[in-house]
Structure 1
Amino acid sequence: MREDVGGVWLAEPRPDPSKKWPESPVYDSLQTNIAHPIMYFPSHLAPPSTPLYTGARAVNGYIRSYVDRFDLRQYVKFNAQVTAATWDHSRNQWDVTTRPYGIQSNQGTGSVSQFDHLLVANGHYRHPFIPNFDGFDDWVSCSSRSYIHTMWYRIPEPYRGHDVLVIGGGRSGVDCCNEISTVARTTVHSIRSKEDQDLERIIQRGAISHFTSDGFVHFKNGKREYVDRVIFATGYEYDCSFLTQLPVEEPKDNSDHLYNSRFHIYPLALHLFPLRAAFPPSSLAFIALTYGVPSFNLAEVQATLAIRQMTGRISLDFDYELAQTLERNEDLRNTHASALEVARAWHRFSYPHNTAFNFIDMLHQKANDTRRVPDWKRNLEPWLFVLRAEWRKLEDLGLAEKWTQGVGEGGIREWVELMWRILRRARDRKPGDMVTLE
């Protein structure tokens, strides 16, 4: 619905504070955390000499080059917002209402078009999740205190001299803490699963109990810290409010109908096709809902599977897929304490152990597609964190550009060899840590 392609990678460096939410959550220092030979579309490599990890501008440039290479702009309607999509049983079609982006609903009804199938690829970094804490309203009632979600965060300078609490242990939370701690008076990082630890610049604390009007945040272990700024790095909710027949409901143990809990969409076949819905499974597909799976790779194979199912080239057994979905739900219920925790875990794949790549290959197989995740990706997967850390050392030493110069001119093999060279460098510096590298 924006002016160009790129999604979240079309950065908005200084978002308009009058808007409900910024157009993109990308902060100035954000870099990719997966090397581009693994992250990007297998069908479209990054240009030679591209740094292994880049900022948003480079990723957006890559997406633009993909769109231009395959002449896709002719199929994109820019600055348009889908406000409603409703399945009409009598015609077996979708009625889709669109209007120019930014036009309020009371300024016109928009235009309605009919489609046989929908691919929903609206991402999941648009609708912030901010948890409720006892006493937070009292804490924020003081005019000298304020809070934001990380989707508004861009640079650390506004936090200079302040006492800052960052809530959440994900990527954005860690990055914010590291940056803000260089300018803040104190930086407190609350991560539910972590033990207390006083680091050089960061005070690490566990789960929060409550806030009080005197400016303190109290933790469940009885400790407290004074803060005047709070940053919620607490993730996002799934938002498909334009799907008029997809109800939003609180997480439950099971469901006889498709619904959006805000933390998962359930039940879906293969995290993709709707089950027990007001519309047929093959009428719609949700693209790239999952976490922990390289999203470009996932989108490519999911789109292949969806189109082949929708056009009749393959025919999935949705009774079987429903049984598999119910079995997964039962497995998660046995290992998680509540329906909410099951919902949070539903679309997540964890590293390592190749679970994400196994999922991608299963989708290839379901689509009758002969492509498979190459062995080099599977072999590199256990070392992705080491690879990223060693790349940062090369950057700090000013060597990164030299290491990538000309790499890629001979194709993907050169990128693979570069990644192994970097890992061998890490092993040679700390030989005891990586004895089974190859």
Structure 2
Amino acid sequence: MSRVFQLAFLLLSLAVCLSTQHATRDAQTVLAAGPPHRNVTKSIAIVGAGSGGLAVLKTLLDLPEEVRSSWEFALYEQHRDVGGLWLPDPNPPHPPALPETPLYPRLRTNTPHPTMTYPGFTFRPGTPLFPTHNYVQQYHADFAEHFNLSSYIHLNHTVLATGWRGNNTHGEWVVDVEYDLGTKVYRRSFDHLIVANGHNHYPRIPHWPGEEDWLASSPTREILHSIFYRNPERYTNQTVIVVGGGASGRDAALQIGPLAKTYQSLREGSVPPDGAQVTVKPPISHFTNTSVVFEDGTSLTSVDSLVLATGYEFRVPFLAQSPPTSGIVSPALEVAPSTTANSTTAQVLTSNLRYIFPLYEHIFSLSPAHPPTALAFVGLPVLIANCPSDRAQALLVAHAIADPTILPSRDGMFTALLRREDNMRQRGYDPYVYGHKMVGGDTEAQDYQNALVRYLKQHGKLPDDGKDYVESWRKASRVHSALLARGWTRIESEGEQQKWLEGVETEDEWADLMQRLAAWQEEWENEHGQGLDEYAAV
């Protein structure tokens, strides 16, 4: 079995390439044309029915009827339902083929769900405060149903390739879409393309000297990215190194730790999650035939498995592949991992696999090939609450499509982008490595959302109520997220969930619950002390 996982490690790059091979079909495979445009003044394609795609579709439909009545919308989702990464893969992963999602059965949110919601739309009554993934997928399905979005959503439709036909002032997108279980392709044209397909699809795989010899020296060794991780039981009685301290790394450490001799390789300044039964090690330096060697010179022998919680690459295959026989020869996005280009010098929209640039506010493409509103991204920011952030971005996208003059000039948008990148450098972060991360934590993430909405208020597109977009209760609850998690774990251990959840339906009621829970848990911790393993944060 381990040879299978060795193949997964060695051939994963091939799996990434396979995701784009369909886009190279010749003209004979374009079996059907898309439905004709009839009395349409503006056509908009959205890719992805996760939180970003649903947010932008709903926000476009919220525009005044007189503005959007003659617009056409099509949201393409390659999977069988809405929900993005919260939709379980119907089949177990089989490396090196990439699974549909990195979702694992024991995944649950690590922040209270009221802080993760679209403003004004709550989870179903009775939802645990820190729900498992099925509740989150159901939330997205409920959102689509409640706002009658389904008629615009084309499930099991995969966007294979896109290309811009025009110049930097006008033109159209040529889009090839695969459907009917992958047997047919049709071609459509759209005025605007909104990319909301997420960024947890293509795993980032680090490589170290000696790794191949280490793998080959024993038939039981494996190195596997967390996108393939599903259940901790398969690691029982092994020696395991979890590499990375992000969300999946924390969960893997917590879940594998009780079943295996577990180490967690972390950068300086990072710590394992509360309650994790792991030994912390520094970053890996290299491998020998028998050992994993770390940057401090220490080493481990008898290691069976590495779980790489090392994040994902920013790839958008359908932007990097032009539709065949369309006459379009320049892809909309250049993927250049080792590029020396930057936002100022890039001749096309570029991804170095960590950062897509140049983009205004992580949203609008400043490629010289097309107008800024022709191509927009929703959902690129990392370390942020997705649904409220996606909604804030969607508001700017919708109003900019309706009235492009609300955006600054192209030069003004470039100036703002360079200012943001310089600010990151001044704080010690390379924007071409950390570019879409909200490195300032919740404060920066909330300031970003507030600024987008404030801009629209200042330009008369939204009523100015004098309030921040991110509500005070949402801010406070995220500050106390770890405290709330410990409290909720305690409630679950005592079987008191329904007592706390009874009668809680509205945003105000959820906010009150979290305030009461934080006070209740803080009082208990003051009396009993913190850090008890049985009440460790989820």
TM-score when scaled to structure 2?
0.74
- Name which of 242, 245, 266 aligns with 2:332: 245
- Name which of 250, 254, 257 aligns with 2:342: 254
Q: Does 1:172 align with 2:248?
A: yes
The one-letter code of the counterpart of 1:247 is E
Distance in 1, Cα, partners of 2:384 & 2:103: 19
Distance in 1, Cα, partners of 2:482 & 2:368: 40
Q: Summarize deviations over 1:232-265 as a string: whole Å, max 9, x none.
A: 0001111112112211122547232221111111
Distance in 2, Cα, partners of 1:394 & 1:252: 53
Q: Does 1:274 align with 2:365?
A: yes
Question: CA offset at residue 19 of structure 1?
Answer: 6.4
Identify the residue that residue 220 of structure 1 maps to in structure 2: 295
Q: Does 1:385 align with 2:479?
A: no
Q: Which moved more, 1:261-270 or 1:392-401?
A: 392-401
Alignment of 1:79-90 (within 5 A): 79-89=156-166
What is the identity percentage for the equivalent residue pairs of Structure 1 and Structure 2? 31
Identify the residue that residue 321 of structure 1 maps to in structure 2: 413
Identify the residue that residue 142 of structure 2 maps to in structure 1: 65
Q: Is the 8 A contact 2:243 2:308 kept in 1?
A: yes
- Partner of 1:398, secondary structure, is coil
- Name which of 420, 424, 433 aligns with 2:515: 420
Identify the residue that residue 504 of structure 2 maps to in structure 1: 407
The one-letter code of the counterpart of 2:258 is T
Identify the residue that residue 208 of structure 1 maps to in structure 2: 284
Q: Is the 8 A contact 2:93 2:228 kept in 1?
A: no
The one-letter code of the counterpart of 2:249 is G
- Name which of 317, 341, 360 aligns with 2:449: 360
1:342–1:351 CA distance, 2 compared to 1 (3 A): closer
Distance in 1, Cα, partners of 2:276 & 2:372: 53
Question: CA offset at residue 358 of structure 1?
Answer: 1.5
Identify the residue that residue 369 of structure 1 maps to in structure 2: 462
Q: Which moved more, 1:377-386 or 1:149-158?
A: 377-386
Distance in 2, Cα, partners of 1:277 & 1:218: 47
Alignment of 1:36-51 (within 5 A): 36-51=113-128
- Name which of 289, 296, 316 aligns with 2:380: 289
Distance in 2, Cα, partners of 1:252 & 1:360: 30
Q: Summarize deviations over 1:98-146 as a string: whole Å, max 9, x none.
A: 113874xxx77x3210000011001011110011111111111232211
Q: Does 1:127 align with 2:209?
A: no
- Name which of 225, 234, 250 aligns with 1:149: 225
Q: Summarize deviations over 1:133-180 as a string: whole Å, max 9, x none.
A: 111111112322112111111111111121111100111111111211
Distance in 2, Cα, partners of 1:25 & 1:62: 19
Q: Does 1:397 align with 2:397?
A: no
Question: CA offset at residue 363 of structure 1?
Answer: 1.0
1:195–1:2 CA distance, 2 compared to 1 (3 A): closer
Question: CA offset at residue 49 of structure 1?
Answer: 2.2
Identify the residue that residue 432 of structure 2 maps to in structure 1: 343
Q: Is the 8 A contact 1:13 1:27 kept in 2?
A: no
Q: Summarize deviations over 1:285-309 as a string: whole Å, max 9, x none.
A: 1001011221111111211211110
Distance in 1, Cα, partners of 2:407 & 2:132: 39
Q: List, as ranges, runs of 4+ consecutive aligned residues in structure 1 with deviation greater than 6 Å.
A: none
Question: CA offset at residue 310 of structure 1?
Answer: 0.9
1:196–1:286 CA distance, 2 compared to 1 (3 A): closer
1:195–1:26 CA distance, 2 compared to 1 (3 A): closer
Q: Summarize deviations over 1:296-325 as a string: whole Å, max 9, x none.
A: 111112112111101217521032221111
The one-letter code of the counterpart of 1:427 is E
The one-letter code of the counterpart of 1:309 is A
Distance in 1, Cα, partners of 2:350 & 2:214: 35
- Partner of 1:247, secondary structure, is strand
Distance in 2, Cα, partners of 1:246 & 1:118: 13
Alignment of 1:5-44 (within 5 A): 5-12=82-89, 14-17=91-94, 20-44=97-121
- Partner of 1:413, secondary structure, is helix
Q: Is the 8 A contact 2:88 2:103 kept in 1?
A: yes
1:390–1:16 CA distance, 2 compared to 1 (3 A): same
The one-letter code of the counterpart of 1:248 is V
The one-letter code of the counterpart of 2:444 is T
Task: Give the CA RMSD over aligned residues.
Answer: 2.4
Q: Is the 8 A contact 2:450 2:470 kept in 1?
A: yes
Q: Is the 8 A contact 1:81 1:101 kept in 2?
A: no
- Partner of 1:210, secondary structure, is strand
Distance in 1, Cα, partners of 2:489 & 2:82: 29
1:420–1:95 CA distance, 2 compared to 1 (3 A): same
The one-letter code of the counterpart of 1:112 is R
- Partner of 2:480, secondary structure, is helix
- Partner of 1:430, secondary structure, is helix
Q: Is the 8 A contact 1:156 1:179 kept in 2?
A: yes
Question: CA offset at residue 347 of structure 1?
Answer: 1.0
- Name which of 403, 406, 410 aligns with 1:312: 403
Q: Is the 8 A contact 2:254 2:276 kept in 1?
A: no
- Higher relative contact order, chain-length normalized (CA < 8 Å, sep 6+): 2
Unaligned runs of 5+ in 2: 1-77, 320-330, 531-538
The one-letter code of the counterpart of 2:476 is N
- Partner of 2:263, secondary structure, is strand
Distance in 2, Cα, partners of 1:376 & 1:38: 8
Distance in 2, Cα, partners of 1:170 & 1:200: 14
Identify the residue that residue 233 of structure 1 maps to in structure 2: 309
Identify the residue that residue 100 of structure 1 maps to in structure 2: 179
1:38–1:314 CA distance, 2 compared to 1 (3 A): farther
- Partner of 1:420, secondary structure, is helix
Q: Which moved more, 1:70-79 or 1:314-323?
A: 314-323
Q: Is the 8 A contact 2:235 2:256 kept in 1?
A: yes
Identify the residue that residue 332 of structure 1 maps to in structure 2: 424
Q: Is the 8 A contact 2:224 2:307 kept in 1?
A: yes
Distance in 1, Cα, partners of 2:180 & 2:296: 47
Distance in 1, Cα, partners of 2:299 & 2:497: 42
Distance in 2, Cα, partners of 1:211 & 1:292: 31
